[in-house]
Structure 1
Amino acid sequence: MIKGYHSDIMKIYERIQSKEKESLQKRKIEISKILPEISNIEKQIGLYSVKISMELLKNKENTEKHLKQLKEKITELRIKKSELLVANNYPMDYLEIKYKCPKCRDTGFIGTKKCSCYKQKLVKLYYKNSDLINILNKNNFENYNPELFSSQRSEEDHRSPRKNIEIIASKSWNFIENFANSTENLLFYGTAGTGKTFMSNCIAKELLDKGYLVIYRTSEMLIQNLRTIRFANDEKLKDLLLNCDLLIIDDLGSEQITDFSKTELFNILNMRLLKQKKMLISTNCELENILKMYSERISSRLLGNFTLFKFFGEDIRIKQNIKSKRF
């Protein structure tokens, strides 16, 4: 995933391996001065290991018996080494490599499959010095406060804005918790300032913390990116938008709508749906307006392949701004 970053990630693993090898060498030098007997034991283990390799090459009839004896001697020496370390208040594995990720042994791969730590490094690398990370430090579930929303139900809605946002928050958590095993996409719609972008950011924060690659774009930014892909043949950007774990498109309908934008928007939606790559789209448009603004191919996918959540109530941004300026 995200081919352009692979070489950078592998350099990170090389640095981790190099640093730990240096650290292990320092620990060995330390032990050789304090407990020289352990250094002698390690030398003996090394000699026996060489003998095992030589026996395997000889292929004699009594090789199996001899190999067993050599392995038993190595085991005895390792036990003795561990006992000496523990007796002198050192951890049993003090002279072993300390892997940051024991699963892949800091290689990034388990066999031919990328380790989970590979994706975590990809996420950190992509979002290094990103404005989005600063935004998510504020817009997250820790700062989620349903009491900002009115508990009064209007005649038009069958539930209050507060009850509505509580249900959406609960469904959003389900989306996060089932992310790996679900093909669900989300469409947040409703008037401005009712929490759509905030809830999108809350979801993004949780998934990023879990090591998923989340790409956030306003609809205008997305169209600009799609233009770059089309006319500058930017394969790295194309790979990013097509293969990230979650693509968030914020403020759909605010972009300049042209034949080009409608065609490219359909293409990105359709390709991600075919690849079963999840999306979260927010818009200030009512569903009727989406039907009018976009082609049937786009609107049918938005309304047919996404779980719809309506946001309503007072403009929370205005409400908070007025409250903060009161003396």
Structure 2
Amino acid sequence: MNAEKIRDIMLEYQHRQDYNKEILENKIKEIHEKIPQIKLIDQNINRLGLDITRSIIMDKSEEEIKHLEEQQAAYIDEKTLTLLKNGIDPSYLEMDYSCNSCKDTGFLENGEKCNCLIQRLLNDSYKMSNLGELLKEDNFNNFSFDIYSDKIEEHMEVSPRENMKDIMFNVDNFIYNFDEYPVNQKNNLVFWGSPGIGKTFMCSCIAETILNMGYTVIYQTAFNLMDIINKYKFKTESFSDIDEENFNNLFESDLLIIDDLGTEMVNSFTVSELFNIINSRLNSKKKTIISTNLDMASIGEIYSDRILSRLVGNFRFFEFYGDDLRFR
């Protein structure tokens, strides 16, 4: 990503910090006007803070510095009690952050990029995914088991509704244990079944939840995935740093979701590249979700036994079935 774009993103972070500081300052002003005693206490807390700093610079004794710190702590306790007596939660006067991990700086205390910044950079590179717009509607807040039939279909052991409840139980487990890698447990998912029965919707719901947990997510259709690979492998005159980033992010994101596998043009090149992505992510313990209209046998026929072997050995398969929900 070019330097100008990164500067623009960091400027967004600075504006976010300024905005939150302004909100806090307005809250403090409000409380000072309502409870003048709090204003006096804050003045004492700030004064002692300066005294402590001066004492450290002037190399005062530890005893003197400790005495100042105890005085400041006493005022902080007094402030808390005064707020509570006036029916105000002390947290009301704490800074609100859009991201508590980095406190809206984009970077963690160890100097590494925060996941919120990484995702911001990814989203900018992946405008083609329209993930932000998609997740406004496709999230668990808009999910209901009631749209699935409770009638058991021929050759099926449970109804579509009960089947979806079982899938949801496993999805919840996948989300809850997202940052853990239990030995001998399959930590990736394949959703398969006919079109229009909720596979893409479920992928979107998972993406929204994992994003809110602070992880990085790349969501691409199989067609767009291959387009990204082609741009990287066959570098034309229009090839840019963004194209290279897009390709690298397929391997580095915490979660890669490949939607509609089987709708792209399949040839020896795309099969080889798909295997490379799946295999590399497995080796680096990066999680992957695939949705497809293909059953297990068809995946083996179209994409080779090598890919099928990786999926069977490392992914849990869940069949979606029932009526086409697009016509409800």
The TM-score, its normalising length taken from structure 1, stands at 0.74
Amino acid at match of 1:278: K
CA distance in 2, matches of 1:6, 1:223: 27
After superposition, residues 109-258 of structure 1 pair within 5 angstroms as 109-112=108-111, 118=117, 131-141=130-140, 142-149=142-149, 151-154=151-154, 156-182=155-181, 184-230=187-233, 231=235, 232=239, 234-258=243-267
CA-to-partner distance for each residue in 1:134-173, whole Å, 9 max, x for gaps? Answer: 333333333333443351331x333333332232222222
Amino acid at match of 2:213: K
CA distance in 2, matches of 1:77, 1:147: 58
Distance 1:282 1:174, change over 3 A: same
1:98 aligns with 2:99: no
Unmatched 5+ stretches in structure 2: none
Q: Is the 8 A contact 1:99 1:106 kept in 2?
A: no
Quote how far apart the aligned CAs of 1:206 are: 2.5
CA distance in 2, matches of 1:310, 1:91: 49
Structure with bigger gyration radius: 1
Amino acid at match of 1:173: D
CA-to-partner distance for each residue in 1:203-244, whole Å, 9 max, x for gaps? Answer: 223223333332221111110011112223733112321122
Aligned length: 309
CA distance in 1, matches of 2:290, 2:273: 16
Aligned residue number for residue 11 of structure 2: 11
Aligned residue number for residue 280 of structure 1: 289
Q: Is the 8 A contact 1:5 1:122 kept in 2?
A: no
Q: Is the 8 A contact 2:148 2:322 kept in 1?
A: no
**What is the root-mean-square deviation in Å for CA atoms of aligned residues?**
4.1
Aligned residue number for residue 278 of structure 2: 269
Distance 1:110 1:164, change over 3 A: same
Q: Is the 8 A contact 2:115 2:216 kept in 1?
A: no
The TM-score, its normalising length taken from structure 2, stands at 0.73
Q: Is the 8 A contact 2:189 2:290 kept in 1?
A: yes
Unmatched 5+ stretches in structure 1: 321-327
Q: Is the 8 A contact 2:232 2:247 kept in 1?
A: yes
CA-to-partner distance for each residue in 1:25-79, whole Å, 9 max, x for gaps? Answer: 77889969x78966874675366335403431x7xxxx34444455556556767
Q: Is the 8 A contact 1:21 1:97 kept in 2?
A: no
Aligned residue number for residue 324 of structure 1: none
Q: Is the 8 A contact 2:259 2:290 kept in 1?
A: yes
Pick which of 8-17 and 84-93 moved more: 84-93
CA distance in 2, matches of 1:129, 1:121: 14
Equivalent position SS for 2:232: helix
Aligned residues: percent identity?
36
1:299 aligns with 2:302: no
Pick which of 81-90 and 43-52 moved more: 81-90
Equivalent position SS for 1:180: coil
Quote how far apart the aligned CAs of 1:307 are: 0.5
CA distance in 1, matches of 2:88, 2:10: 32
CA distance in 1, matches of 2:310, 2:147: 34
Aligned residue number for residue 323 of structure 1: none
Equivalent position SS for 1:173: helix
Distance 1:224 1:125, change over 3 A: closer
Distance 1:55 1:236, change over 3 A: same
CA distance in 2, matches of 1:93, 1:162: 43
